[in-house]
Structure 1
Amino acid sequence: MNVEELIRKYNVPAPRYTSYPTVPLWEQDLIREQHWMHIVNRAFEESNQEKGISLYIHLPFCESLCTYCGCNTRITKNHKVEEGYIDAVLAEWRMYLNQWNEKPVIRELHLGGGTPTFFSPSNLQRLIGGLLNGAIVHPAHEFGFEGHPNNTTEEHLQVLYDYGFRRVSFGIQDLDPKVQKAIHRMQPFENVESVTKAARKIGYTSVNFDLIYGLPFQTVDSITNTIDRVGELMPERIAFYSYAHVPWIKPGQRGYSEADLPDNENKRRLYELGKEKLTHLGYTDIGMDHFALPADELFKAAENRTLHRNFMGYTIFNTDLLIGLGTSAISDAKYGYLQNEKVVEKYKEKVLNGQLAIIKSHAMTDEDLLIKRHILSLLCTGEFCFEPDLLSVLEKGALDQFQVMQKEGLITLEGDKLQITQLGKAFIRNIAMLLDLRLKRSKVSAKPVFSKSI
């Protein structure tokens, strides 16, 4: 089979595996608050002193809608919403602090969105100060945030730097004006250049650019120009994502039609071109969608086989306990997951009344933990071993399909070890799906839920 035939075969809806089970396949019976806190406390006791814990804060507000975006956002130009939202996030955090007999050791902290730099520097100062008050910052911590090139100021950068932030991620997507207009994300290269240089001048040691391939009106020329301009700035990390066209979930994507998108083969060419150019610039493919320069900690974690993946994407630490605060934020407490209410008003009402704003949850089974461990190994190291416990639960059809993938050149099988080949990296989501027992047994169709794998 040539590459085009493989793409036609495997370009099917597939999860991105920031968790296992994936969110649509969580058990529907909600974990009660008391049970959730028991799960959290178990993970806290196992992780806090040795590894520390992670915090993800979801800040959903944006002044305008980027139509490619699949995140949970609230579009408004009213900045009065900032203070009340921060009050709610800090109230939610206090519920967790009140559960613990010792101070949490914060190893990772990430501000996502939405647009975190929608918030004023002074309000971000109040938020971070409130989160760290009563906590211990791990000496080997990593704090990062997502910034919009158009509104991230030197004051934003300095305030967060003073709290220990050294990593910033800017959403670039594509620098072609026609593409930017279609996705409603107009940002000249001059803005990207200015904020990148400002971050480095202040002392940020890791700058990430998010790029997307498969956007409306994207061409070989636009990808070439975008990566050439990115090469002038050489961010330490690049996230090169496949555009997820899910208009049934995100109606804003109906602003353009599927006819405006590159077809499957052209989309794949855009990826191969982008990957080739990034490699030529000195970046290494360190995991699904992610590239890094050799001096960056993400590259070093991949080399040291300590890379981890969770709801924040690829990270350099596995803390076992990730607390998500804010609307739609997801917590991973090793033995269970919880997602918050997605509607700002419902979230605020619950947490300000002293209740967790639970909308979805899942308690892990022993089988879930087994499969999660192997999928994480696949996504973070490119390999896993067919341990007896795994073989006892996998269906024969999955094992047969692994044999087919070996013949196709996507993986190698030697003894009890599976390894992804260079060709197979592009099909890693398809390989992971063969381990996904929840998806196989579910009545939920992957088609209307997940974006295509390639």
Structure 2
Amino acid sequence: MTAVTPELLRRFDVPGPRYTSYPTADRFVEAFGQEEYVIALQERKVGSAAKALPLSLYVHIPFCEALCYYCACNKIITRHPERADVYLRYLAREIDLHTAHCGVGQPVSQVHLGGGTPTFLGDDGLRALVAMLRRGFTWVPGGEYSIEVDPRTVTEDRLALLAELGFNRLSFGVQDFDPQVQKAVHRVQPAEQVFALVEAARRLGFDSVNVDLIYGLPRQTPESFDRTLAQVAELRPDRIALYAYAHLPERFKPQRRIVPAELPLASAKVAMLSRSLQAFEQAGYMYVGMDHFALPTDALAVAKRQGRLHRNFQGYSTQPDCDLIGLGVSAIGRVGATYSQNAKTLDEYYDFIDQGRLPVVRGLALTRDDLVRRAVIMALMCQGEVLFESIEQAWLIDFRHYFAAEIEQLEGLSEQGLVAVGGDGIAVTPTGWFFVRGVAMVFDRHLQVDRNRARFSRII
């Protein structure tokens, strides 16, 4: 990490996709709807290769009790828990609609509950949700079963319930331990509360505990964030996700409550990132990639060392590349060579299900070129290298001819020490791994045609 200089960080402080998919979700079209999605589900049911791989499930729980001003997620602020009861009834019907097309009991090796705040659900709601997921699908032993947790909404007893229900991974939203920063973003949670919950999670035997941090928030300074980094090092979670705050008030209404004058300057953000990299290295964390750090013993770090890292809409994963079914409002899925996204509002989502229809409102059927480029981009994002021969054999192309323009474009990154282009492939250097999004962007045909990148977060 010490090779990553502030100068390099400043040079690559530009917008770019996170590549949880390729093509990225902004390329989805409304011409892809329920009919196209059903065909993909049915093809999976009859395809022997797809059936051999377990599914991944993502469930979106949109409700939150309070508004966090930095949030860009699809959420609904409410203090009426009964709204979640209605939502769960519709989720059950959506699951039934899925299993009618792909079959009951499909094996699942990865489940992720996101939001919003999944722990907005009460104990009975969590039990009901897991019961309906297990009725529709078979959770296989040794899978990754994770849930995002707002520390303000759980106790040790609730964590025990999550363990009892089969969850083995927790992700705590911390963002920053500084009280002034917490007040500025309307998310006050004492550090002592988080420490107590992480300690409880360890006693309960969870396989992995992740902590989310954000730099670039109002009232943050490099010095104040240093104190948060020291507390995180003391907390010692198995994984850390470090995100840059993207201030886009024109797109995300809650961010309009943030005082622009309180946001740190770009130079301060770069300093925070640079000092974070050093702090995590000194604390013994391995840089997995794309904002993610893990202790060397964590499954994610092991997968990185062994070349078994994968990437999907939830980020990096140890699970093999597989189809993903998205459940709930705004959820995104991937089945075969298609992507799909559900309706983004509750009224529209409920209306689709009341009609007996899957609530898909947009998506994409990938072209052959999309699939080739996805293979290259995911190899870069996950393994840090692309071997020409493997792509050529899989897709029957001449790599150097097919990607002649891209290889020429890589010369600039090569001169900066970020990639090495050899006779048999392209390798991301240790320094380049911190800017792998910038390397992947070279192979993004859609992005090369459309230079309007302001809609993306910054790549470092």
Q: CA RMSD in A?
A: 1.9
| 1:119-158 correspondence runs (5 A) | 119-158=121-160
Deviation at 1:155, TM superposition (A): 3.4
Deviation at 1:417, TM superposition (A): 1.9
Partners in 2 of 1:253 and 1:229 — Cα distance? 27
Matched position secondary structure for 1:98: helix
Deviation at 1:361, TM superposition (A): 0.7
Q: Answer whether contact 1:168 1:206 (CA < 8 A) is retained.
A: yes
In structure 2, the residue matched to 1:441 is 449
CA 1:196–1:334 in 2, change beyond 3 Å: closer, same or farther? Answer: same
Partners in 2 of 1:264 and 1:412 — Cα distance? 30
In structure 2, the residue matched to 1:453 is 459
In structure 1, the residue matched to 2:42 is 41
Of 269-278 and 216-225, deviating more is: 216-225
Matched position secondary structure for 1:93: helix
Q: Kindly provide the CA deviation profile for residues 156-186 of structure 1, in whole angstroms up to 9, marking residues without a partner as x.
A: 3222212221100000011011111111111
Matched position secondary structure for 2:151: coil
Deviation at 1:64, TM superposition (A): 1.0
Deviation at 1:317, TM superposition (A): 0.8
Q: Kindly provide the CA deviation profile for residues 321-354 of structure 1, in whole angstroms up to 9, marking residues without a partner as x.
A: 1000001100011310111111112112211331
Of 123-132 and 259-268, deviating more is: 259-268
Letter in 1 for 2:12: Y
Partners in 2 of 1:199 and 1:450 — Cα distance? 34
Q: Answer whether contact 1:56 1:112 (CA < 8 A) is retained.
A: yes
Among 350, 372, 375, which residue is 1:373 paired with?
375
Corresponding position: 1:56 with 2:63: no
Partners in 1 of 2:220 and 2:214 — Cα distance? 10
Deviation at 1:122, TM superposition (A): 0.9
Deviation at 1:124, TM superposition (A): 0.7
Q: Answer whether contact 1:62 1:115 (CA < 8 A) is retained.
A: yes
In structure 2, the residue matched to 1:227 is 229
Matched position secondary structure for 2:456: coil
Partners in 2 of 1:101 and 1:191 — Cα distance? 43
Among 424, 428, 436, which residue is 2:432 paired with?
424
Count of matched residue positions in the alignment of Structure 1 and Structure 2? 449
Partners in 1 of 2:156 and 2:177 — Cα distance? 22
| 1:395-414 correspondence runs (5 A) | 396=405, 398-414=406-422
Deviation at 1:376, TM superposition (A): 0.8
Among 78, 95, 98, which residue is 1:96 paired with?
98
| 1:200-279 correspondence runs (5 A) | 200-279=202-281
Q: Answer whether contact 1:121 1:155 (CA < 8 A) is retained.
A: no
CA 1:278–1:107 in 2, change beyond 3 Å: closer, same or farther? Answer: same
Of 419-428 and 299-308, deviating more is: 419-428
Of 382-391 and 162-171, deviating more is: 382-391
Q: Answer whether contact 1:246 1:451 (CA < 8 A) is retained.
A: no
Q: Answer whether contact 1:338 1:361 (CA < 8 A) is retained.
A: yes
Deviation at 1:113, TM superposition (A): 0.4
Deviation at 1:219, TM superposition (A): 1.5
Of 103-112 and 407-416, deviating more is: 407-416
Q: Answer whether contact 1:68 1:183 (CA < 8 A) is retained.
A: yes
Q: Answer whether contact 1:57 1:329 (CA < 8 A) is retained.
A: yes
In structure 2, the residue matched to 1:86 is 88
TM-score (norm 2): 0.93
Partners in 2 of 1:290 and 1:43 — Cα distance? 32
Deviation at 1:423, TM superposition (A): 2.3
Of 36-45 and 48-57, deviating more is: 36-45
Q: Answer whether contact 1:66 1:183 (CA < 8 A) is retained.
A: yes
Deviation at 1:264, TM superposition (A): 2.6
Letter in 2 for 1:59: I
Q: Kindly provide the CA deviation profile for residues 226-264 of structure 1, in whole angstroms up to 9, marking residues without a partner as x.
A: 121122221111111121222221122222344432333
CA 1:441–1:317 in 2, change beyond 3 Å: closer, same or farther? Answer: same
Q: Kindly provide the CA deviation profile for residues 84-104 of structure 1, in whole angstroms up to 9, marking residues without a partner as x.
A: 100111111111111134521
Q: Could you tell me which runs of 5 or more consecutive residues in structure 2 were left unpaired when the two chains were aligned.
A: none
Letter in 2 for 1:233: L
Percent identity over paired residues: 38
Partners in 1 of 2:137 and 2:371 — Cα distance? 29
Q: Answer whether contact 1:7 1:265 (CA < 8 A) is retained.
A: no
Deviation at 1:205, TM superposition (A): 1.8
Deviation at 1:34, TM superposition (A): 2.9
Matched position secondary structure for 1:337: strand
Deviation at 1:3, TM superposition (A): 4.5
Deviation at 1:207, TM superposition (A): 0.5
